[in-house]
Structure 1
């Protein structure tokens, strides 16, 4: 597996991949390979959501898909969102807001933001899974892939 692809999987997922190179060119290639990680994570999360939705309904399927994605990424995207919400919600000057974002704990703005975002994601996916299992799975895959394409586009 090329170094950039290993770096992408090693950074963006919990999948066991040995990363040998951590330099700038490899990181650049990892950003370009991020959509591949998105496809794999999207398929795994869509599979979990579809299986649960088939047995227990669209709402629980959506919870399973979002939960699987959080587990597969070590909550990396959720942690970053909470940090930004805490920093921006603090109303402090830029230096203090940055210090708040770098702290390892989570504050009230971070908790509220995570709760609302995840509830919104679950509600949107529940509607798709309730419409059809295939539509729900496709919604999960599309969302995860689009999120990882942002790294390549950036």
Structure 2
């Protein structure tokens, strides 16, 4: 419940802008998030989402597309699809070309049975990065979805 309240509060309070490209906005932005990434690598999704929720309350965190993307990932892995979608949308509102958020939200769309939206994300990845890892991963996820 605390997480839902936090996300709603951040939705109402956040109007953010940032720049950058790739997985992280810069090498500097990956350092504050290393704790969350360690939790995610150990599949501690609840702990990671709580840590990221706290981080996103800070001025710097609120403007971090990377933090929003990781929050979306941790929430998606917990099955909180609507909250994850909101987090990915925040990441993409900060940085529309965020490769990770495009890939992960595309995978979320497949979980929600929204193939067309996943394909739109794939087209955006093709536009932004050509043949990058994120594009390949989303292509694979779409292929698996279609095979089922």
TM over 0.5: no
Structure in which a larger fraction of residues adopt helix: 1
User: What range is the shorter-chain TM-score in?
Assistant: under 0.3
Higher relative contact order (CA 8 A, sep 6+): 1
TM-score, normalised via structure 1 length: 0.25
TM-score, normalised via structure 2 length: 0.26
